[in-house]
A and B are shown apart, each in its own frame.
Chain A
Amino acid sequence: MIKVENLIKVYKSQKGNRSFLQDFFKREYEEKPALKQISFEIGSGELVGFIGPNGAGKTTTLKILAGILYPTSGKVSVLGHVPFDKEKEFLKQISFVMGQKNQLIWELPPRESYLLNKEIYEISDVAFQKHLADLIDLLEAKEIVDKPVRTLSLGQRMRAELIAALIHRPKVMFLDEPTIGLDIFAQTTIVNFIKEYQKQFKATIILTSHYMKDIASLAKRVILIDKGQILFDGLLDKLIRSYSREKTLTIILKKSIPAPLLEKFKLPFEYQMPLLKIKAEKTQLLKFMAQYLSELEFSDFTLQDEPIEEVIKKAFRKKP
């Protein structure tokens, strides 16, 4: 469905830090590699998360896959098409949603933009009505579609944008930061929607997000990108298993711990009445609990996995 082989993209950018006169008469450019020979394949109906810091090359990859950017070298095939050729048949089957860029016409209600897309994408009346009703239903957007876009809140606008982007029911979707700047509720709505949409229509989806929670709740497979290279491509579970061996034990104490007992703890701990926190590998923690739990008076305790952000940070630093 999507196949990328040895993809390279080099950006030419103006050299900074030069005087105005130098710049005016002889402007110099420098080449900045954005993608260094990346390869991957994505099958039909997969939902893959792209993870990486700003400037890692996530958006560049998506833009190349959608045919907006011209690759410096390498082979790219999406749905059997070369994206940059922008063939009509190709464009009718994809959608690119950018959290920071709107396609809706600012002054008019979203419905007007949908009607325009209906003609542009050659959607029949029946299909249009059905698609629109489905999307409005999934996104609970009934009140939104007939208000001018400029009067909508950011969260409402994102929902309206999604309808515009999916009204032609694309087979492949590129979602670039669809939840950027949204509050938790709006974020959840969007994430649930993507999940539901994919389940119902079996679309192939590539998603980028800075919110690890989004990725974790949507994608089974993730691709980690940094500085234009793929660091990891595989199941998110596997990534977590190989990078997250530590758990945090938190105990809410009833009575303070006597000093002699504290001295016996071999693991590093944080202790401030009434909390005792110990972060360590699972096996060590189990040992600790077996040894000391009976000696402590506590009202409650929890055992937590490392936050997924921490796991990803470690993966980028390449140390488990």
Chain B
Amino acid sequence: MKRNNTVMDRVFVALVFVFLYAPIFLLIIFSFNAGNSNTVWRGFSLDWYRELFSDRVIMRSVYTTLLVSILATVIATFAGTFAAIGFYGMRRRKRNVLTTVNNIPMMNADIVTGVAMCLFFVAFFHGWGAFAKWFNGIQALVSLPERLTMGFGTLLIAHITFNIPYVILSVSPKLRQMDKNLVDAAMDLGCTWMQAFWKVILPEIKPGIVSGALTAFTMSIDDFIISYFTAGSSSSTLAMTIYGMTKKRVTPEINAISTILFCTVLLLLVITNIREARQEQLELRRRKLPTATAAEAAQYASRPTSRLPKLLAAGGAAALVLCVTVMAGRNAGKPVVNICSWGEYIDESLIDQFEQKTGIMVNYQTAESNEALYSLLKSGAGDYDVVVPSDYMISQLIEEDMLEELNYDNIPNFGLISDRFKNLPYDPDNKYTVPYTWGTVGIIYNTAMVEEPITSWEVMFSDEYAGSVLMFRNSRDAMACALFYLGYDVNTTDVGQLREAFELLRDAKERGVYQSFVMDEIYGKLEGGNAAIGAYYAGDYLSMVENNPDLAFVIPKEGSNWFVDAMCVLKDAPHKEEAEAWINFIASTDANLANMDYIWYASPNEEALESYPDYYEECYGEELDPEVFEIMAPSQEILDRCQLYLSLPAEIRTLYNDLWTELGI
């Protein structure tokens, strides 16, 4: 009956494989690129591999991914097998109901599963907190932790939960195929109940268990969405790290880790397949020549080599886990501080310096925007000690009683902060904050791609450069662009004015003015010449212009926003003292100089700001361009043209959220 495939058919199949593998091979090729681009080849190098192994964030997330996948697979395989046996022993009606429930995590959209579990964990932690408080109050023998947060534990629970159904799915058919009398026969012959299970049931369903475990592991490794909602802030899988990175500048270290993962998996598969192929050949031979070679074949099959690949694979996996564990687990047990800041917003060597100086380990995370940070805090997904929100978000957090008052005795370096950055409207008595940086918002454009210098916000709404304009992906900044252009107060609470600004944005979006809405992805897009114009922060412009000298920055004539980002400690933060040590360290003049040099945002530390031009000259042997310094730390004259965002009343904030969601639609 078999009609063989025609040449055309084979070409088609081959093309599909090319489609599946071309992107993977490109990833691999560019992991050896000397430059940091994924599109331009600059020669061979192994730099990214070296960087990868010293990158703690990526290594940690690889470790988390492997650990959670392996643990979840083992537990789910075990639990799933027993559950399948249990289901098998049930009456039909009951079994059908339970099978339906069991199918939910498989059939449900991942995002719903993730969101549901996130809500559940947070609700449970609230309840637990109240219970623990009460329980600790009535007795003194056992002290229950009052504060639980999402982390590795919840991540593992989530993975186990979505893995078990796959195990059940592949074990159940094997159970149904099993001869029902086998177990009875075994027991009649004197097997105990347990023996019957080990000697009869288990061998029968073993293929199902193995394939279930394999599916579970694949699903765990491949998962992103459920992890994203259940991992909290303290643990992050590789996928989450990559997702975080695609929102800013992606380093080719990602290509390097992809290559390593791919090659490891390929190797394991090749080993197991060679083994299977060999066994199959044996089988074939045995069938063809029954008696004479059966003994030979049996001898062949029992050769220890057939075990070797399995052992190799297991040993390799164990070694890998051990290796990563050692690398990631070195610092277990030390005091920690959890920080959430913005992307590209710190000289990372400061983290190492701080850790060496104080012995406190830093868990450094980033959020995308003030609004996203607020969501993380509110939803319980973010569990931080220190956050670095902007002015208006600080007032909102203070208003909602989410910040802890600082003990300024622990932060002597607060004295170095310039007086003009103290007691600002968002924290009038300066009880909660220590400023981190300040700067302005403006328009960044590629001089090679525009006709004449940009001077007005108009360009963000006109058709002139439609398709090459990048707009902010956060409501406050995006609305501000429109409000400035319309000549309204940026802190307006007039619904009519806000609607008008919104219509301006929506209209521009519908006319195709915006190539996309971005936050830190703007780096790649403007540096690579993929977009011509984008509104963003001055400090980031100075970082970008280092990589693409064609870029220019302007504070539009209609005025703009100036902002202060300040470090705060969250209410009931578990590591308040460590948090204050961090804040004090970052407020020092040395740290501020290093940071300014790295991120190009102006420092609120008077001494650091004034000495920066000298510092620059010392470091690079050339004078700092005064124009650059002016963009970084604009004079009062320019600041006078700019406005600080103020906190908005709750109903206006809701309006912002609604309008923002509507704009996205």
Q: Do A and B come from one complex?
A: no
Chain A residues near B (Cβ < 8 Å): none
Chain B residues near A (Cβ < 8 Å): none
